[in-house]
Chain A
């Protein structure tokens, strides 16, 4: 057959367009988020003359907005990896118990730091971030231990549920015994980008680049898995090793995001679905698009959280839950979404 090979790729062009649109929207909203705040546009105009305005824009708004983008990117990435890995459209980044692990970590750290009144605020902050990260990763390790490895998807999911429930209960117990930490715990559970500084941004950016690279490189295993585990193995894919590597990506991406911004709901679940409703493509593209979508979602949600009732602020997690949940519901109701969702 000497016919020139045909590249039948309208979806590929669409992937490029969607990626460009998401990036462009991200840049626009980043600029907006940096420009607008409780002091309005004024701070941007006064940037050169007023050191306070400089501080507001460069030290508070910029890292916070970029942080929201990065945390969203991590959650979108983790969501896409989780849904591909477990071949379940309801999978989200917190699936393997990382959310309750992080909560428990924060609860323990809050109780412990309460005992040392000399700890400075930044030390507390660093301690909480570290504790949330350690809690999230430890919970995933515990899930893997209970599931006896990564070989069995259903066992992993069930172990994740068990770990989530048990660690969640322990966290609740600590709150019961020490009501003084309840308010801080509440804030953590709702999620906030308020504490994100430049160092947190650097941490999240590092985790995102590493996670996205690994996930991108291993995406073909998720493509193979979508046809079933046996088919994936028959294609010569070393499934256990690749699956373990992707779980590491999932745990680190989720752990890093949760540690910096708390438990932000729905971004990791909704971002992959939004991408799926726009374009059907291979996981290599899908993971990156989901990540960009998650980033844009959280950036916009954070902007709204700051401006809706300004100068007051809504917890961004509440907003993502309402917006993400509402959007998923709309997607579900829309006629012709067969295959688009569930």
Chain B
């Protein structure tokens, strides 16, 4: 199931999970290649975010998830946190921590209890904040930023972990087009440096810029293949009920909505 034949960073075998008693994941088998950027796409309610949480061992589940070959559930929490970084959808409002302190939280897995930040931590935080162009507001409180600015800080927090595997749930939420482009360059740079990136995306055109795409529907993986493959693009059109068409635009593939289908439906 690994289209590239490269080492596997994250794998799920026979994974099922429920939320409040309702089954959400119905037997997931998946291998995600190391050093690749994989996007998980699919209609609303397909179980994408739940899968991402299960891959990060943040939700109780049946079956096995392995990180670099090791069962993730049996790993010590801090070791797992150093190897795998997770960026969720923004849950809270009015966080009073400064941008700098929020980003420094990403260094928690590297710091011993009660230790102050080392020069290494400080350098990692600065790198992360500069990478998302958030360094200039480092003394401001997170709660005082706009949605897009906040998203860039939270991304910096996830980057500051400097983990081998980075999982992101809807990382483009609230980002304006220039910063979406920056995000794209950032993720490609991470993958080029051998990091594994997994992102849940609603922006199909963005997902098409990645290495591989996992298509989910109704709690199952429907398809997993290279983003540039014609079969993947057909599978995408199919999972969205032919309501999108994937077109070539110069060197890029883009997804455009089919309005005609909407009126006839």
Binding site for B on A (CB under 8 A): 1, 5-11, 87, 89, 217, 220, 223-224, 226-231, 233-238, 276, 280-282, 286, 338-339, 342
Contact = CB atoms under 8 A, between A and B. Distances in A.
A3 to B, nearest CB: 8
Contacts of A89: 94
Interface string B66-104: 000000000001111110111010111011111011100
B80 to A, nearest CB: 7
Contact of B109 (A217, A226, A235): A235
Given A8-B138, A227-B92, A238 B105 contact: no
B119 interface: yes
A100 to B, nearest CB: 29
Contacts of B41: none
A230 B91 contact: yes
Nearest to A238: B77
B88 A230 contact: yes
A9 B104 CA distance: 13
Nearest to A282: B101
Contacts of B81: 234-236
Contact of B91 (A6, A228, A233, A281): A228
A239 to B, nearest CB: 9
5 contacts: A228-B88, A236-B79, A286-B96, A338-B144, A339-B94
A280 B94 contact: no
A10 B108 contact: no
Contact of B139 (A8, A87, A238, A282): A8
Nearest to A284: B114
Given A230-B58, A237-B108, A339-B96, A7 B122 contact: yes
Given A9-B100, A223-B105, A282-B97, 9 more contacts: A7-B122, A226-B97, A227-B154, A228-B90, A228-B91, A234-B58, A234-B81, A280-B98, A281-B96
A217 B126 CA distance: 25
A281 B98 contact: yes
A232 B88 CA distance: 11
Given A227-B91, A276-B96, A339-B94, A237 B139 contact: no
Contact of B97 (A8, A236, A237, A280): A280
B123 interface: yes
Top 9 A-B pairs, shortest CB-CB distance = A236-B81, A228-B91, A234-B86, A236-B78, A5-B122, A339-B143, A280-B141, A236-B77, A236-B109
Given A230-B53, A236-B80, A339-B141, A11 B98 contact: yes
Nearest to A221: B108
B45 to A, nearest CB: 19
